[in-house]
Amino acid sequence: MQKKIPFDLRPTLQPTIGLPIACRSVGHYKVFPGWHNPGKPKNFCELFWGIKGHGQLLVDRKPVILKPAHILVLYTGDLHHVTAVDHWEYRWMTLDGMMPDEVLSSFGFGKKPMPARTCPQELFIRLSSEIHDISPHGQRVASTTAYEILTLAISNESMNTVGHRQMQQCIELIKTQYHNPELNITSIAQTIQMHRTNLSKLFKDKMKMSPIEYLSLYRVGKAMQLIQASDLTFAEIATRTGFSCPNYFTNVIRKRTGSSPTELRQRARSTQTTNL
């Protein structure tokens, strides 16, 4: 008889605030050979992280094998058809939100199994608890943990290498200085004492996106939080999140989310009123 640990599902069908990615569900499965989850296209993305044994999934209707310490991402509309080849243990999380496919693609996840580090089970356990808090703050916390899992999934490099330390310096600088409109590839490279060309190449190799793309996504995430959870004007939000021009700020938000700042705020206010 198969053993499958129950998964944790967000109490609401959709996130109640606009987030680039939101965690819909998270689980930890231990299944016996031959266990099968019949496939059908899903309207969300899913990350699978192998722990023990082997599983078979379909990618573009072709079978692929997920090994231990490997990950696989399925995108919106993909067929989720899963079979245990032998005694198989894996963790998974499903993601929705305003632009999950774009975020996953910008991270560099392809549609094939990829080698990864050992599954960070403590993060999945933490996420399984966080997902039940559907307050705006709780959903942001769960989204942050999902981002952390994705970051570890795409980077299987040892944390002790020079390249990893330089990457961490770059990311930490972006997280602490994103509000500075003068922050760019040149200033980042100068701060961490690295040539900008080498920094850009290192970042693209490890993160599958440029430092500026990462900075833009980070600024958009911070801006969306302020748009929905504050009464600041959009010009004030633009200034606080490193956009020197309000019009450029509006264009970036619309390009990334498909909605204007005004539409995002109205949607958030409408949802909050409905939930009262």
Tell me if 68 sits within 8 A of 51, measured CB to CB: yes
Half-sphere exposure of 28 (CA within 13 A, CB side): 14
pLDDT tens track for 80-134: 889 999 999 999 999 999 999 999 988 888 889 999 999 999 999 999 999 999 9
Q: What is the domain class of 8-148 according to CATH? A: mainly beta
Which pLDDT score, from 0 to 100, does residue 267 have?
81
**Selected residue with higher pLDDT from 9 and 268:** 9
Average pLDDT over residues 167-189: 93
pLDDT tens track for 184-237: 999 999 999 999 999 999 888 877 788 999 899 889 989 988 998 889 999 999
Give the 3-state secondary structure of 53-85.
CCEEEEECCEEEEECCCEEEEECCCCECCEEEC
Is the pLDDT confidence value at 258 over 60? yes
Is the pLDDT confidence value at 50 over 90? yes
Helices (H), the chain: 100-107, 121-130, 136-154, 162-177, 185-191, 196-207, 211-229, 234-240, 246-257, 261-274
Which pLDDT score, from 0 to 100, does residue 229 have?
83
Domain ranges for the chain: 8-148, 157-276
96: left (phi over 0), alpha (psi -120 to 50) or beta: beta
Which pLDDT score, from 0 to 100, does residue 133 have?
93
Which pLDDT score, from 0 to 100, does residue 21 have?
94
Is the pLDDT confidence value at 42 over 60? yes
Burial track 181-202 (b if 16+ CB lie within 10 A, e otherwise) = eebebeebbeeeebeeeebbeb
CATH code for residues 157-276: 1.10.10.60
Which pLDDT score, from 0 to 100, does residue 8 have?
92
β-sheet bridge partners, residue 48: 72, 92
Is the pLDDT confidence value at 36 over 60? yes
The model's pTM is 0.63
Which pLDDT score, from 0 to 100, does residue 161 have?
62
pLDDT tens track for 137-171: 999 999 999 999 999 998 765 455 667 788 889 98
- Return the sign of the alpha-carbon dihedral for residues 117, 124, 47, 149: negative
